[in-house]
Amino acid sequence: MPLKKTPQVFSASIDTVTIGTGEKAVTLGGANVMPLYAFDAPIENKPALGLELSDAGYNAELPKLADFYAGAETLADQAKRAAALDGVDFVTITLNAADPTGENRSIEDCVAECKSVCETIDLPVAIQGCGNIEKDEQLFDALAEALQGENVLLLSAREENYKSIAAAAGLAYGQKLGAESAVDINLAKQLNVLITQLGVQPTSMVMNLGSAASGYGFEYVASTMDRVKSAALAQNDAMLQMPVVTPVADDAWSVKESIASEEDFPEWGPVEERGVQMEISTAAACLASGSDAVILRHPDSVATISALIAGLM
């Protein structure tokens, strides 16, 4: 019996959200099929890749990464390298040095540095906080105002600090905003409801549903994203139709496989290769589960993941 192909195309679709400005602006989302199912219907906006920079600097102990950024002293110089790399759709700055329990850089310094990156490159910019709830709230408020007109993506507002971040980024200064929950479908929806109730348009928002390095409880991530996408598409749930942006780098580069030294585990091979493999496997799994964009740290990961996406679209 011949195979009868029945495309699974939904009448609902993922919202489209654009970050950045001008020719290099990137539009996320828009699909009306399950993640990567380009064989069911064309996917207009392919999943996007962000390359992550940290204001605390890169890990110079990784030879290839050190080589890639060699000579780029400032964050703006590093951003220029990142932006020139094939496959990179946007550049992400993570403000690790702002953490009050660490270097505790001032808001003014962080804003100035982000501003210089935005002025240097024409790719869209996403900015991640330091993870401290209060500091991130102040940082995002200041960044939203200072970067008016850049249409940056601020990652992310959480349950504890969404009000002022949403008001600044989503309402007052016309930036894009991530709503972050930690692998919890009900909270993901609730946070979106709360932010939209403040008046923020769903098209100014993305979701960061949280992640885990592959092998570290990723099945929870997969089932969460799966449930979110099926609610968005099959149940036409407007409170879950925002595109999903997943910062993969931090999880992938924090697990034992990516940090244990080669001296301790000679049979595992070079640290850098292991880290890249963790990053690739996590990012590929996120894309298959429903991420509309992933944020990576290593140029080799970008090469592989962008080839994967190109091959599937």
Positions touching another protein (CB under 8 A) are 185-187, 189-190, 192-194, 197, 227-228, 231, 235, 237, 239-240
Q: How far is the CB of 150 from another protein (least distance, A)?
A: 32
Tell how strand 176-180 and strand 205-208 pair up.
parallel
Q: How far is the CB of 194 from another protein (least distance, A)?
A: 7
Q: Which is nearer to another protein, 169 or 228 (CB)?
A: 228
Backbone angles phi, psi at 157, to 5 degrees: -90, 140
Q: Which segments of the chain are extended strands (E)?
A: 16-19, 26-29, 48-54, 90-94, 125-128, 153-157, 176-180, 205-208, 245-247, 293-296
Q: How far is the CB of 15 from another protein (least distance, A)?
A: 16
Q: How far is the CB of 160 from another protein (least distance, A)?
A: 15
Q: How far is the CB of 3 from another protein (least distance, A)?
A: 25
Q: Which is nearer to another protein, 191 or 249 (CB)?
A: 191
- Round to whole Å and give the CA distance between 256 and 278: 10
Q: Which is nearer to another protein, 122 or 237 (CB)?
A: 237
Distances (CA, A) of 247 to 40, 102, 155, 263: 27, 21, 9, 29
Place of tokens 């990142």: 82
Q: How far is the CB of 222 from another protein (least distance, A)?
A: 16
- Round to whole Å and give the CA distance between 169 and 163: 10
Q: Which is nearer to another protein, 11 or 101 (CB)?
A: 11
Q: How far is the CB of 193 from another protein (least distance, A)?
A: 4
Q: Which is nearer to another protein, 101 or 186 (CB)?
A: 186
Strand order in the sheet with 176-180: 205-208, 176-180, 153-157, 125-128, 90-94, 48-54, 293-296, 245-247
Residues 6+ apart with CB under 8 A from 5: none
Q: Which is nearer to another protein, 32 or 175 (CB)?
A: 32
Alpha-carbon torsion angle 165, 210, 227, 162, nearest 10: -10
What the block records as the tokens of 253 is: 């580069």
Helices (H), 149-184: 162-165
Q: Which is nearer to another protein, 161 or 214 (CB)?
A: 161
